[in-house]
Chain A
Amino acid sequence: DAGVIQSPRHEVTEMGQEVTLRCKPISGHNSLFWYRQTMMRGLELLIYFNNNVPIDDSGMPEDRFSAKMPNASFSTLKIQPSEPRDSAVYFCASSPGTWFTTNEKLFFGSGTQLSVL
């Protein structure tokens, strides 16, 4: 299995530009998560999907952030417009089953290092 695949690995953009991060979860996994990691705030859950449906988006910082999961094998996290304070590592993770009842381990992607200048 290829694991959770994220792209791009690194993204450098200028303030105000739109940024789209992509994630392909492990095949057969029903739960997908987007996390953000910063030095100041550590690892924060942004949004959780189950069976392609957003279950909890309370961690999404503001309206500039949006996430979609059009099918079981693809998800995007979009920031529009981007700001320097959005600079962080963004992780996608997936898990089998309905995670909020099974609490199985999460499989993480390698992350996208985002730098907004």
Chain B
Amino acid sequence: AQKVTQAQTEISVVEKEDVTLDCVYETRDTTYYLFWYKQPPSGELVFLIRRNSFDEQNEISGRYSWNFQKSTSSFNFTITASQVVDSAVYFCALTSPGGSSNTGKLIFGQGTTLQVKP
């Protein structure tokens, strides 16, 4: 069975601090995809990144960066120089292409609530 664990329920930082959100996943599939979504206070889920299991290169997008390590089954998300607008719930998610283990389920972690204080 697939599983995503976001051990940090809530994180509070002061603006301009760097913050890392942890994500640990479990899967028996060799091909899989990992995602991060952001849910701001307005409620909608916003896509941030999609990464396949064969690409372990770290990715940077502005103040956001992601560290994918298959050896530790982790896909951590770092926000550099956090801002108040980064306050949201962040979800890590996992899926695999169609087959015996998947018919379309995107498995979400429980989410990490990030509060950035001014």
A residues near B (Cβ < 8 Å) are: 31, 33, 42-43, 45, 48, 50, 55-56, 58-59, 89, 91, 93, 98-111, 113
Q: How many chain B residues have a CB neighbour from A under 8 Å? A: 24
6 A–B pairs (Cβ distance < 8 Å), ordered by A: A100-B98, A101-B98, A105-B47, A106-B45, A106-B47, A111-B44
What is the count of residue pairs linking A and B with beta-carbon distances less than 8 angstroms?
A: 61
With contacts A100-B97, A103-B95, A105-B35 taken as known, whether A33 is within 8 angstroms of B47 at the C-beta atoms is no
State in angstroms the CA–CA spacing of A62 and B95 once bound together.
24
For B106, list chain A residues within 8 Å (CB): 33, 45, 106
Q: How far is the CA of A93 from the CA of B44 in the complex (A)?
A: 10
Given A55-B103, A103-B96, A109-B44, 8 other A-B residues pairs in contact with their CB atoms under 8 A? A33-B104, A56-B103, A100-B102, A107-B47, A108-B44, A108-B45, A111-B43, A111-B44
What is the distance, in angstroms, from B100's C-beta to the closest C-beta of chain A? 12
Rounded to whole angstroms, the CA-CA distance of A56 and B104 in the bound complex is: 7
Known: A89-B43, A109-B44, A110-B42. A100 touches B103 (CB 8 A): yes
Least Cβ distance of A62 to chain B in Å? Answer: 19
Nearest A-chain residue to B91, judged by Cβ: A43
Measured CA separation A113–B42 after assembly (Å): 12
Output the least CB separation between B32 and chain A (Å).
8
